[in-house]
């Protein structure tokens, strides 16, 4: 069975870029949903029960931190954000990793490896 993920990013171009980078970094990963806000993220988590969330922090509706707290224990979370100042809160919410935009392919590959070790 392939590992599953949801990508939550409110900026469409960045979401597409992340999808391309994930396909390179983790070809076996099946992205079951791509969405742009926190409320949709929670509904998608309930619907798909993914193993991994790739999650922005600043977005409409619920913040990524709030989504991670609510999803705690149900999936692994990798934050991908433009804001370095949320790292402590992200790890307090159970993050596996915290990547700062612009994304570097090698850094994303390392984050994917960390998640694979935990699955």
**How is residue 36 written in tokens?**
């742009």
pLDDT in tens, the chain (119 residues): 899 999 999 999 999 999 999 999 999 999 999 999 999 999 999 999 999 999 999 998 899 999 999 998 899 999 999 877 888 888 888 899 999 999 999 999 999 999 999 99
Contact 36, 61 (CB under 8 A): no
Contacts of 88 (CB under 8 A, 6+ apart): none
Q: Which residues are 55's β-sheet partners?
A: 8, 79
Q: What is the pTM of this model?
A: 0.94
Peptide bond into 32 cis (omega under 30): no
């Amino acid at each position: 069975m392939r590992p599953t993920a949801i990508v939550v990013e409110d900026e469409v171009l960045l979401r597409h870029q992340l999808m391309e980078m994930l396909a390179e970094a983790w070809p076996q990963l099946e992205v079951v949903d791509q969405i742009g806000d926190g409320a949709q993220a929670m509904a998608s988590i309930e619907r798909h029960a993914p193993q991994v969330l790739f999650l922005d922090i600043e977005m409409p509706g619920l913040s990524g931190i709030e989504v991670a707290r609510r999803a705690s224990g149900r999936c692994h979370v990798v934050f991908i954000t433009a804001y370095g100042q949320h790292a402590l809160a992200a790890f307090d919410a159970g993050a596996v990793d915290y990547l700062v935009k612009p994304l570097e392919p090698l850094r994303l590959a390392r984050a994917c490896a960390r998640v694979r070790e935990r699955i």
